[in-house]
């Protein structure tokens, strides 16, 4: 196992699963990381599959909000984020994506610098593949309007941290918000 892959495997192993599905996703991702070093997307849109993704979830913990952008390709409201570059640590990818897509520095002080959540998601557009996504939480302000990268997003908006009122999004966003709410309540 390459040193970078070993660091990512340790990051994945440190995530406390929220539910049985996240426990399964962590186990599946750990097994994958221990079986290969080919973990970064090299050829767009989907090679190899699976590959690493870092979500950068903009959250206002004081005003109980999450900011989602209307992603042009996926046609869904999604957190910011993207593919982890070869040799890059997912947290550095989350930081990079905050700068590229939101135009802000990432401040990891809501729940810490480690990913809060991990998901394994089959994606069908633009080509079938599997994303292994690490969900990082960064601080935002609900009163601030963020100028998203217009090449990737058709605007964005704040949503309440209520899993029942979220828009069509990543299939795991509702579970992420439940885990986030629990972390915020206990923190």
pLDDT digits (tens, 9 = 90+) for 55-81: 999 999 999 999 999 999 889 999 999
pLDDT band at 93 (very low <50, low <70, confident <90, very high): very high
Domain ranges of the chain: 3-186
CA 164 – CA 148 distance, rounded (Å): 25
Global pTM reads: 0.96
pLDDT at 1 > cutoff 80:
no
Taking residues 7-13, report their average pLDDT: 97
pLDDT at 11 > cutoff 80:
yes
Q: Is the CATH number 3.90.79.10 carried by domain 3-186?
A: yes
> Shortest CA distance to 11 belongs to which of 154, 131, 116, 97?
116
pLDDT at 45 > cutoff 90:
no
CA-to-CA dists, residue 138 to 32, 45, 80, 113, 179, angstroms: 27, 26, 10, 9, 15
The string of pLDDT tens digits covering residues 153-167 is: 999 999 999 999 999
């Amino acid at each position: 196992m390459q040193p970078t892959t070993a660091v990512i495997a340790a990051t994945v192993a440190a995530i406390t699963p929220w539910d049985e599905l996240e426990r399964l996703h962590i186990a599946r991702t750990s097994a994958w990381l221990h079986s290969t070093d080919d973990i970064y997307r090299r050829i767009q849109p989907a090679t190899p599959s699976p590959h690493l993704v870092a979500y950068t979830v903009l959250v206002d913990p004081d005003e109980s909000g999450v900011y989602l952008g209307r992603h042009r390709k996926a046609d869904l409201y999604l957190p910011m984020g993207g593919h982890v570059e070869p040799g890059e640590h997912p947290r550095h990818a989350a930081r990079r994506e905050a700068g590229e897509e939101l135009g802000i520095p990432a401040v990891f002080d809501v729940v810490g610098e480690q990913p809060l959540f991990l998901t394994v998601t089959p994606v069908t557009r633009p080509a079938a593949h599997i994303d292994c996504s690490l969900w990082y939480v960064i601080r935002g302000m609900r009163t601030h309007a963020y100028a998203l990268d217009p090449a990737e997003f058709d605007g964005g908006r704040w949503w309440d941290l209520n899993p029942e009122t979220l828009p069509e999004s990543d299939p795991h966003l509702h579970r992420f918000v439940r885990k986030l709410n629990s972390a915020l309540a206990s923190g």
